[in-house]
Amino acid sequence: NAGVTQTPKFQVLKTGQSMTLQCAQDMNHEYMSWYRQDPGMGLRLIHYSVGAGITDQGEVPNGYNVSRSTTEDFPLRLLSAAPSQTSVYFCASTHGAGVTVVSGELFFGEGSRLTVL
């Protein structure tokens, strides 16, 4: 199983450029989310989705857009990159409400390291 797949793994942008971080999962999970990891700050929630067509903001949503047109995909868009968005980004997914979960694990992708110059 591929699990949660993120692309690209590394990206360098100039200030003001736009880009999309891709996230796809093949586990038929309803819930997907994006986190950013910064040194000394742990992981912080950016945006999340509880199903196709439904998205909501997390703790640090400014500067990011998301959409959820399919169950499998949850792309994260940076419309005008800023140096403050230099970070490692993680996509995660898990089963939706009503599904019996044994471990309750939130599955993470391998991360995407973004540098904004």
Q: Interface with another protein by CB under 8 A: which residues?
A: 30-31, 33, 35, 40-45, 48, 50, 58-59, 88, 90, 94-99, 101, 103-108, 110-111
At its nearest, how many Å lie between another protein and the CB of residue 67? 18
Secondary structure letter of residue 86 according to DSSP: -
Please state, in angstroms and rounded to a whole number, the distance separating the CA atoms of residues 74 and 107.
14
Minimum distance from residue 102 beta carbon to another protein (Å): 10
Q: Of 17 and 111, which has the nearer Cβ to another protein?
A: 111
Transcribe 10-54 into DSSP letters.
Answer: EEEE-TT--EEEEEEESS--SEEEEEEEETTTEEEEEEEEEETTE
Q: How far is the CB of 62 from another protein (least distance, A)?
A: 17
Tokens of 27: 């586990």
Residue 27: CB minimum distance to another protein, A: 14
CA distance 72 to 22: 11
- 62/98 with CB nearer another protein: 98
